[in-house]
Structures are given as structure tokens and as C-alpha cells.
Amino acid sequence: MTAAAFAFRGRPVVVGAGVAGLMTALELAPRPVVVLSKGPLGVEGSTLWAQGGMAAAVGRDDSPTLHGADTIAAGDGLCDAAIVDRFTRAAPKAIEKLARLGVRFDRKSDGGFALGLEAAHSRARVARVGGDGAGRELMRALVAAVQATPSIAVLEGFEARRLLVEDNAVRGLIAVGPSGPALFATDRVVMATGGIGGLYAESTNPLRSFGQGLALAARAGAALADMEFVQFHPTALDVPIRPLPLVSEAVRGEGALLIDERGERFMADVPGAELAPRDVVARAIWRLRAKGGRAFLDARAAIGAKFEARFPVIAAACRAAGVDPTNEPIPVRPAQHYHMGGIGVDAEGRSSVAGLWACGEAAATGLHGANRLASNSLAEAAVDAAIVARSVDGAKAHARAPAPHASAPPVGDPAAVRPILSRAAGVVRNGETLSATIGGLADMAASNGPAADSAAVALIIAVAALRRDHSLGAHYRSDFPSAPTARERFRLTLVDAFAAAAAFVPPVLARRTSIGRA
């Protein structure tokens, strides 16, 4: 055990330093907490890259009820209504709290929040921060607040590699830091490790966001939930750069139109048109491309010369790719963007393993259902951080003996998984490809290779997608295009997924567990 880990014995450990991890630590203050940050503080994770802002019913014409109805409609009826209700009521206060913490939200001349309109929102309700640079400003303020809070110890360059669990309860955590492996003896861990985009060949997420927290939780025996629901953003910049730069929905919110290579609108007759839910627009573009076409976002008439001032981050990405959005249509394509699934948690953020909580994109709370409503994720993390912190603080800390020592697994590398998962669990899936995939993923997950943990997460996604033999929200099966008659959420453990792969047939997955709340 390194000296650093020893000094923090018994303290709760938050894994991840995006909005979810940093807000959880701030909410725990003045109670002491350790935050593990894989990279230097403030430079890693999706939060930094967020563009549009945070959804909350703060406009005069808005209400939590309307926000909730839009969330449930986008989620295709699979959302947990009680969680949606709690979230939409709490989101305005969470935004005010962030403003008090120093986040400089864009304001109108009367002092109210400047609000953007995004897809599937019936009102302009996305509180903008720094134009299209919401994440940068959010992280600047949160890092400053954390650095000014003496009860928070941030360990930079520490990557969590394994949870130590005994009798289905957390006993410790192994991380690797700048001086080698470190064992944290703790019975309270919060996973705030973000999304899974790095498991896909085309994603808008940072490459190092590849679901490590989900793998750690799954290897510790925790159930993962809603894993088949992967959101593909319809308008990533179609350039040979990885990760793909995002062209925020706010651009369509300001009137930009989707056109094909002949200059014709292809969303005009679809309900919601360009601002239909993300899964609908992503599939339309996927179909166009499958037929050999190409999609473009035409901002010339609606935004024109104002593009640079209104969307400086997107304008810079376009410029770097040789595209001038004021004078030419922007080439766009779908790319993995967000994961509705994650570590299955109850209303307090508790997983099925005692002492393990999850917050932010790593958690599956039931808020997003089958498809996340745009800009609900930053706000969800801010709201849930307070709930998780209360639960962690209220949990009894046990004075257990130090957890048994185990060696740290090697550094993970998802490269081998990317092409497999992208082919099997992309915008459109089918049973044949999914079935043909799970055996290989199971072998890889059972190996000691660098892709083992990534393969474990990919396996659970593929098995969940195979199990769901209908189409719902972001999960579209070409062999089962109809919606189900009943909406149900599913949990799977890694053991379930291995069993399914061994049997290699969908009926093995008949063991359904609806998500219960403690």
C-alpha cells in the first residue's frame, strides 16, 4: 500500500473527476473524501467537452411538469416517472447552486438565464454557459471550488483498477498512481467514471472514456442496467478525426436544416423535423448513408455570419476540418455520444453491491429511459450528486480490517473491442450479428488481455441488446422493428452475460429482473 492510500484509510473514495465526481465531493464537504482523477484535474472526461448547457425548467413559460413530459417522451416511455419528477423539480435549484459555486451562466439583459432550444424540448430550457463551451466553464468553476475545499483530497493520475468485495460489500479499491499500485481500504466507493464512447470506433466522447467504472462494478458482482440503450448523436462532424467533433443540437435549435447531398431536406415530413428526438434523427441519417447518401447541416440561412460568435467551439472544429459553416453546409454523421445504461442504482444511487454508489453517466438511474433528452445529463449529475452524498454520509462506515491484497490488473486498452461493438451494437442492430458477437466477447472478457475489462462491458451491452427483441428509443432492431406492448427495464450481471454467451441463445436471458428500488 502506498503512503497516500494509507493516509486516507476509511474515507469514502470517489472515482472520477467530472461534474458527477466533483459535485459529489463538494456535496460531502466538510466530511473528508478522496477523489481519484485518472488524469490531471480538470482535463479529462466528457464534462469538459459539453457544449449546449444544462436543462432545467427556469424559463417563465416552463415548468417541471413540462420538462418531465418531454423527458418521458424522449425516453420512449421507459423512464422511471418518480425519478423524472424528482429530477425536474430539483434541476432549477441545482443550476442556482452551480451559479453560487461560481459557474458563469450566460444571462439575458434582465439577469435571467439565457436559454437554448434543443431537440425534443417543447420549450427553450437549456441554460447556456459560455456560448457553446458549457463544459469548459463548468469544469473551471468546479475545479476552483474543489481546490478551495480542504476536506477534499484529489489524487491526480490515479486510475482505479479493481474493487475489492467480500460478502457482496465493498472492502477496498486498488488503483495505480504515479508511484505504482495503491490499495485504498474503504467500504464506501462512488463510481463517477463517465461514459463508454471509447468502446466505439466513432464517438464524440474522449477516447479514455471507455466504461472502466462499469467494468469494475461488473467484476465486483454489481448488476448493470439498461445497457442496450446507447445514444448516437445524429450530428457529429463527418471528418476523419477521432473522437468526432460534435455539432450541438443547439445549431438545429437555431434553425439550421438537415439536407442530403442533393440539397434536399429529408426530415421535413417527420414529426419534430430537424428537432425530432436524437434516435429518430440518427436513424434517418444512418438510412441515408446506408443508401450511399450523405447528410449535411445547413446553417447558412438561419445563422450565417453569426455562427462564429454564437458557436465559437463548433466554428473552430469546422475550421480545423476545412469547413466554413457560414458559407457551406456542414457534413454530419451519427456517432456514439451517451450511454443511458450503466451501474444499476436505486433512488439513493446505491448499486446492488453494498458500499458501491454510482453517479453521473456511469449510473443507470431510470431518468433517461430508452433515450436521453438533450442536456439532461449535466443537470442529472448535479442533482444526483447531492442525493448520493447524503446516502454515502448516512451509510455506516465499518471499521473493517484492511481488505485482502490483490494485484492490479494491467492498464486497459479497448482497441480490440471497438470494431466488434460498433458493428454489433450501433444505430441499427440485428439478432444475427449480436449472436455472432457474444461468444468472442466472452472469450476476450475471460482472458487476462488488455481488452478484458472493455470486452466485459461490451459483452453485457451485446447480451442486453440481444435480449431486447423489439425496438425502443435508441435501441433499434432491424429484425424486430416494432415497439413492445409493455415497457420493462432489465438488469444483467456479468455472470448472467457469461451464461448467455455460453448458451448462445436468447431464451437463456429469460430471467428478467425489473429494477426495484430500495
Interface with ligand FAD (CB under 6 A): 15-21, 36-39, 44-47, 49-54, 134-135, 159-160, 192-195, 204-205, 209, 212-213, 246, 338, 360-362, 375-378, 381
- For ligand FAD, the closer of residues 14 and 500 by Cβ is 14
Which CB, 25 or 299, lies closer to ligand FAD?
25
Give dist(CA 208, CA 414) in Å, integer: 9
Find the Cα–Cα–Cα–Cα dihedral 457, 462, 464, 470, rounded to 10°: 150
Using the minimum distance from each CB to ligand FAD, give the nearer residue, 54 or 152: 54
Q: What is the closest distance, in whole angstroms, from the C-beta atom of residue 256 to ligand FAD in the complex? A: 16
CB of 464 to ligand FAD, least distance (A): 20
In the complex, least distance from residue 318 CB atom to ligand FAD, rounded to whole angstroms? 14
Q: Which is nearer to ligand FAD, 132 or 228 (CB)?
A: 132
CB 11 to ligand FAD: min, Å:
16
How far apart are alpha carbons 322 and 316 in whole angstroms? 10
Residues 152 and 29 sit within 8 Å (Cβ to Cβ): yes
- Contact by Cβ (8 Å): 55, 134: no
* Closer residue to ligand FAD in complex, CB, 195/473: 195
CB of 345: closest distance to ligand FAD in angstroms? 13
CA distance 493 to 314: 39
Residue 36 CB, shortest distance to ligand FAD, in Å, is: 4
The residue from 278, 333, 418, 429 that is catalytic is 278
Give backbone dihedrals phi and psi of 303, rounded to 5 degrees, phi first.
Answer: -120, -45
DSSP structure string for 143-187: HHHHHT-TTEEEEET-EEEEEEEETTEEEEEEEEETTEEEEEE-S
Nearer to ligand FAD, 375 or 471 (CB): 375
| CA nearest to 228, candidates 453, 21, 451, 497 | 497
278 counts as catalytic: yes
Inter-residue contact 214 to 457 (CB < 8 Å):
yes
Q: Give the CB-nearest residue to ligand FAD.
A: 18
CA-to-CA distance for 181 and 74, rounded, in angstroms?
43
- CA–CA separation, 254 vs 180, rounded Å? 50
Q: Which of 409, 372, 331 is nearest to 162 (CA)?
A: 409
Residue 499: partners with Cβ closer than 8 Å, 6 or more residues away: 508
d(CA 280, CA 260): 16
From residue 100, how far is each of 64, 94, 96 by CA, in Å? Answer: 21, 10, 6
Catalytic residue numbers?
278
